[in-house]
Amino acid sequence: MLTNLVKKSIYSVYSSKSLQAFDLNLGYIFHTEWLYHTATFDQLLAFCKNYTSLTRAKVICTIMTGVNPLVQAGMKKENCSAELFLERVNKLSHVATIGYHGHFWTNTHRFNEAAFAIHSNTFEPPLLQPQLGADLNWFQQNKVEHNGIYAAGWWFTNSYLLEQLLQANFTVDYSFSKAPYFYNAFSMKLMQEHNIKTGEAFFVRPKQSTKRMLCIQNLIGAHDSPFVLDFDRNLKKILDSKNVYGVLNAHDYDRSFTYTLKCIEHLLKDANAKFFGHTELVEFASMAQVKEILI
């Protein structure tokens, strides 16, 4: 762990323009989990507006639904009604593109215990399916558009979940990542076997299906650090191509939005980064030669 004093010394000789060697085409995505929390929601709305003013692009906010047990517990604690929660989703949709952020448990009554979170090694279809179905019903019943966008909670994804999402007409996934903190055994193995570079989009298609999912990689978070060069140093650790196309990510509840905006300003000014909304990211991929991987 580098101390602030060490960082000051390192960054005094570290070029602020080192990322200019890469063609950075970026979006920004939130794993949005605390819509029931008033202060967090207000900060998120303000950030989305400031982000668009800076980049001329919209944030993507993938949300946990109002029937997720973790969200329901938060709603109860914060006295947030189902009507208020939905009102906030609708407000957010005016400044961000809404998607779906899924979190699942082997026992939904024990959602506060990490041991019951569904990861690759605890996955069973009969446990996941009812929770996924309840979330998707929530979108439909409340007329909330998920725009065919999915981002995985705890980075859990596999072929079964992707097939289920395709059957529900999802078209874009933001769950794959090469960052060590976002590791998932299934996604890492798939990318390694097919020589997918960091920041390279690709399609996945079940062998028995004509539907396919566009997978846009999650790179790293826009560091909420007073040192914007933390971002450059950590991103370069995982880059293996000059062409970088993907999203930066964060939770809605654990950011210093001031530092994050400074990081984005730095990328625009010093790295010549280009920022895109969801629609533009998808269009960008459609113009490239994108691999299709059978799963």
Q: What is the pLDDT of residues 157-197, one digit of tens each?
A: 999 999 999 999 999 999 999 999 898 999 999 999 999 99
The reply to whether 3 falls in a domain is: no
In this structure, is residue 8 part of a structural domain? no
Going by C-beta distance under 8 Å and a sequence separation of 6 or more, which residues neighbour residue 220? 179, 181, 231, 234, 235, 238, 248, 249
d(CA 15, CA 133): 49
In single-letter form, the type of residue at position 92 comes to: L
Pairwise CA distance, residues 6 & 123, whole Å: 42
Is 127 inside any structural domain?
yes
Mean pLDDT of the 114-141 span: 93
Half-sphere exposure at residue 290, Cβ-oriented, CA atoms within 13 angstroms: 23
Q: What is the pTM of this model?
A: 0.95
CATH of the domain at 104: 3.20.20.370
The verdict on residue 140 lying in a domain is yes
Whether residue 284 is contained in a domain is answered as yes
2 is a domain residue: no
Task: Note the pLDDT of residue 89.
Answer: 98
In terms of residue numbers, what domain contains 210?
19-294
Tokens of 61: 């906010």
DSSP state of 113: S
Split at pLDDT 50, 70, 90, the class of 1 is: low
Within-domain flag for 9: no
pLDDT tens-place string over residues 197-229: 999 999 999 999 999 999 999 999 877 788 999
Total of domains in the chain:
1
In this prediction, residues 116-137 reach a mean pLDDT of 92
* DSSP letters for 167-231: HTT--EE-----SGGG--HHHHHHHHHTTPPTT--EEEE-TT-S--EEE--B------SS-THHH
Residue 127 has pLDDT above 90, yes or no: yes
Residue 11 in any domain: the answer is no
**pLDDT value at 10 more than 90:** no
